[in-house]
Every structure is written in C-alpha cells, then in structure tokens.
Structure 1
Amino acid sequence: MRWALRFALSTSVLAILLVLLKNHLEDLWDQYDVTSYIGASWKNTFKHGTVENIPNFNGQPGDKVIIMAKLEKENTDWVAEGLPDWQAAIYTVNPTHNLTTGLTTPMNKGHEAMAYLSYIIDNYPSLPSTLSFLHSHRSGFLSAWHTDAPLHDNVAALRTLQLPFVQKNGYVNLRCNWNPGCEVAHRANAHVTPEVWEDVFAGTSTEAVKGKVPIKVGAACCAQFAVSRDQVLRRPLSDYQRLREWIVETEKGDAQSGRVMEFLWHVIFGKDAV
C-alpha cells in the first residue's frame, strides 16, 4: 500500500510538471510559430562556448543602467552579482504590503513596458549615457530562449555589449537572430495593425506622419535592447508619458499591450518600421 501511495504521489507530481511545461509552451506558441524559431534558438545554446569564456568586469557602477521589471517573488540578485559595473533600476510590478523598499510601477500592465517607460519618465532630466532594458530572468532555454548569448545568459549578453556601437547607432536590439520578428513572413504584424499604430502614437511627435502609417512592421523580438541617452532625448518627455497612458487606457490586456510595445521599441527609438 505504501508503494502504491508513493507511486500515485510521484505520478501526480510528474503530471503537474508536464501541465506547467505544456502551458508554458502553449503561451510561446500563442506569441510565435514555435516550430520555426525553436530550432534557431536551440542551436545557439552552446555555439559560442560557455559563460566562463566571457570576461569578468569588476568595479563601481558606471554611467550605464539596467532597467528591468520583475514580479515580487522573482530573484534578481544575479544583476548585482554578475554585472557590478552597471547601475540597476529594478521595478516590482506587483508589490504587496510586504514590500517596503525598491521601485514600483503605477500598475501591473503592459509586461515590461510599464517599467521601461516609468524609468525614462522618472529620470528624463538625468539619464546615464547607456540604458539597457532587460527581462528579469538570467538564463535558461525555457525562459530566456530569445537571449542570443552563450547558454542564453543575459549576464554574458551585457558583458559583451559594445557600448561605442550603442552610442553610434542609438538603438540596439539585444537579439540578433531574425527569427522571430524579422523574417519576411512576420512583417505583416498581427499585433501592430495600422489602427493600433495610430492609436499608440496619437498625441506624440510621431503623429506628424499619420498619413504614412506602415503596413508592415518587423523587428527581432523580444523587448530586450539598449539605447543611448541622446537617442532617448530625441523624443520629448511628453511622448513617453503618452505612451504609458496608452498602456493604462487601452482595452488590450497586460499581455496584448505588452506585445504591441515589444514590436514598437525600435520605432520609438528612431528606427524604420522594418
């Protein structure tokens, strides 16, 4: 009887884990065509060696900052431990009464976009030279498949980021893999329709080109990128305030509004629609 109980418990635990994995993969499938991108992401996992090959950086935080959104339960200690030469602005999007310190967002909507825009709005007059916008996970294929660095590790990605190139280019997507987001088949973007484009940019400096709303929008996913201070300042503060207002006011939910923003960051920071 005891063995039967143990078998039943083990089977139940395994079933729960499989359901969680199934739900996670279904969520990814809902965002993109899994069959096309999973191979492209997986093949880069060990392509460039291990994280140990990436140079270490020591010293005090410099004129550069990591902006991040996290759930209260998530551990982001890896940022300070692995990237000590970066400032960190980590926003908790779902604070409870137990949280007494740290940055928080006005509301939990728009996924990481609410934290990204809140940092720019709150620090617009005194931004550091380089701003990197990251997700709260460090590594691992299931959560960080869209990070191109060895072992899909965000620490490795930031340690090898070429800051002079960020300053020269203004905006740099931290994902170089075209799949998903940049392939020709992806550019008829289901999230950013002409109607959505006009709604998002209404009341901003982009509205001046309202008669030239692009039919196609293409950019490598997935809302991890770096920008220069000068590029941020090309837009007035009111633009970022209006973009955050759109997230708050839109009927689109948390995930939907976040995905719209995911495919517009390159436009917001001065790049062509594709």
Structure 2
Amino acid sequence: MKGGFRIAGFCVLCLVLFSLYLLEAHLQDICDQYGAGSYVINWLDRNGTAPSPHSEIIPGDKVIVMAKMEEEPTEWVEDELPDWQRAIYTVNPSPETRLNDSALMTPLNKGHESMAYFTYIIDNYDNLPSTVVFLHAHRAGFLMAWHVDAPLHDNVIAMRNLKLDFVQQNGYVNLRCNWNPGCKSAHRFNSHVTDEIWAEVFDGTSTPPLNISSPTDQEVPGQNYLRKPAEIGAACCAQFAVSRDQIRNRPLEDYVKFRQWVIDTELGDASSGRVMEFLWHIIFGMKGIYCPDEQVCYCQVYGQC
C-alpha cells in the first residue's frame, strides 16, 4: 500500500515538474517575443529618450503611411515626427469624416493595414517620396505595440533612429529585427499562404505564380515567374520601409491587382491581412525567407551596432 502511495506521489511530482518546465519555456518565449527585459531597462531609463522637436520643421522626402480606426489617436505622428510627410487612412470613416474632402479613406475596411498600404501606393505611384514607411497607428505600449522593435516599443524612437541610407541601399527593410515570431524555424511553415492563395494573389501580375512542383521558372521567354517558396518567413508584424525605386520595380497594375484580391477574397479581415503580412517582403522583391541576423539588422536598420 505504501509502495502504491510512493509511486502515485512520484507520478504527481513528475507531472508538476513537467508542467513547470513547459510554463517556464512558454514564459521565456513570451518574454523574448515582447522584449520584456529590454523594455524594463528602457522604462527605468526613459528620461534619457530624445526630446520632442519644438521648432517648425518642414517634412522631408519621406512619408509615413498608416491605417487607423476612427477612434484611434494619431496626432503623435505630426507632433513627434514633423520631418515626415503623413498619409493616414481612416478605415471606418464616420459620416463626418466622409464629408471631409481632405480626409484619406480606404475603399473598404478589410485586410487590416494592407488596404491602406495598397491604396497609398496606387494613389501616389507617380509621386512617391524616396522613402515610404508603413506603420501601425498605435505609437507605443508594452501590450499594444509589443511588436515595435525599439526602446519602449515606441514607433517615434524607431523612426528617429531609422537609417534611411540603408533603406535606399536594401530597397526593403522590415522594421522588426527580433525573429520571434515569424522567423524561427517553426514559424516558416504556415497555413495562411497555401498554393491556392499564392496562385490567386500573383495571377495576372508581372510575376505570374508557379507552385513548388512546377517544372520550370520560365515557360514563356522574357516572363518573370514567381515560384512559391517551400518556406516563407519574415519577422512580424507588417511594419516596414521601402524605397521608391523598390516599389516601382512592380508596375502600378500589380498593386491594383493585390488590393483587388483583398477586396474579393472570401477570407475575412484578419485572415486576408495575415496573408499579406507573410507576403510583403516577397511583393517587394525579397526571397521567401527574409530573416537577417538580429544583431546585424539592429546595426543596419537602427544604427545599434
């Protein structure tokens, strides 16, 4: 009888230890994803962050593009980043906003931020500034903006530190260097970009689709086909910078087609937006896996060498 209790007690102990091991691993992953350690250090040293500009500054040859809900505050862009042009699209405009001739609006509230991103490119294709940065509307915050890869998860700090010369040199730059999530080996196989969706998105563009099993990359001489990669990976979460030349490597008609796919697809708002989140780097000419070494990325993108 005593032996039975010992065995049962041992089994319970093993179960508890195993549960604690899994919990620790999960917490470590969450802390890494949220940059918890760096956030605490930067929060304690927050008085050392760069002050806001006070004198009048003329926006330069660069623009911040974002999608916002009607109720989201985005005044921080003009107040804190006055040297940037702004293109802020309301995706759920109120009747009052619809009557405002100067307000930017998307044709549909679908695909998360992708609808605003494509709309900006389509409407400004012939008049793009040298650098186009695509950002989310929330400025900062440990929970809301955990994916902003800057001290205090603050997009203001990220934009002040962004190396525009590297954007021009590389063409496309993901604003998140942290590999978690999106770049880890387990993240490179996803159920969002299926063979069918790949074909739908790129069909009728300047880079017609090829599946992994297609026998040739060039069935028609002079045509640039785009083969679906076996793996697709990039650090989340649809915040990136692109040069004007890189955008124009594709014709305007491609972006019209991409936006129309978001409009027409049976996938909902979140799912269609997630598809585009996995495809931005490919649309802008990068390989299926765009995961530069984290330390190299921080050095090249933000000058944190």
The SS at the match of 1:141 is: coil
The alignment status of 1:239 with 2:235, answered yes or no, reads no
Check conservation: 1:193, 1:215, Cα contact below 8 A.
no
How far did residue 219 of structure 1 move?
Answer: 0.4
Q: Which amino acid aligns with 2:143?
A: L
CA distance in 2, matches of 1:197, 1:134: 25
Q: How does 1:24-35 map to 2 (within 5 A)?
A: none
**What CA deviation, in whole Å up to 9, does each residue of 1:116-146 have, x standing for no partner?**
0000000000100000000000000111000
Q: Which amino acid aligns with 1:44?
A: S
Are the structure 2 counterparts of residues 273 and 228 from structure 1 closer, same or farther at C-alpha, using a change threshold of 3 Å? same
How far did residue 181 of structure 1 move?
Answer: 0.2
Q: Which moved more, 1:51-60 or 1:207-216?
A: 51-60
In the alignment, what sits opposite 1:179? 180
CA distance in 2, matches of 1:198, 1:208: 5
In the alignment, what sits opposite 1:25? none
CA distance in 2, matches of 1:56, 1:34: 37
In the alignment, what sits opposite 2:93? 95
**What CA deviation, in whole Å up to 9, does each residue of 1:165-211 have, x standing for no partner?**
00000000000000000001100122112221111111112216453
Check conservation: 2:139, 2:145, Cα contact below 8 A.
yes
Q: How does 1:88-237 map to 2 (within 5 A)?
A: 88-99=86-97, 100-101=99-100, 102-207=103-208, 209=210, 211=214, 212-237=227-252
In the alignment, what sits opposite 2:30? 38
The SS at the match of 1:157 is: helix
How far did residue 53 of structure 1 move?
Answer: 2.7
The SS at the match of 2:95 is: coil
In the alignment, what sits opposite 2:65? 67
Check conservation: 2:64, 2:132, Cα contact below 8 A.
yes
Q: Which amino acid aligns with 1:53?
A: T
Check conservation: 1:117, 1:244, Cα contact below 8 A.
yes
The SS at the match of 1:241 is: helix
Query: What is the TM-score of this pair, normalised by structure 2?
Result: 0.76
CA distance in 2, matches of 1:110, 1:216: 22
Check conservation: 2:182, 2:235, Cα contact below 8 A.
yes
How far did residue 54 of structure 1 move?
Answer: 3.4
**What CA deviation, in whole Å up to 9, does each residue of 1:78-100 have, x standing for no partner?**
00011000000000000121213
Check conservation: 2:122, 2:252, Cα contact below 8 A.
yes
Ranges in structure 1 where 5+ consecutive residues have no aligned partner: 1-32
In the alignment, what sits opposite 1:15? none
The SS at the match of 2:116 is: helix
Q: How does 1:74-89 map to 2 (within 5 A)?
A: 74-89=72-87
Check conservation: 1:55, 1:159, Cα contact below 8 A.
no
Ranges in structure 2 where 5+ consecutive residues have no aligned partner: 1-24, 215-226, 290-305
Alignment RMSD: 1.8
Query: What is the TM-score of this pair, normalised by structure 1?
Result: 0.84
Q: Which amino acid aligns with 1:265?
A: W
Q: Which amino acid aligns with 2:76?
A: W
Check conservation: 1:51, 1:151, Cα contact below 8 A.
no
List structure 1 runs of 4+ shifted beyond 3 angstroms: 33-37, 46-49, 54-58, 208-211
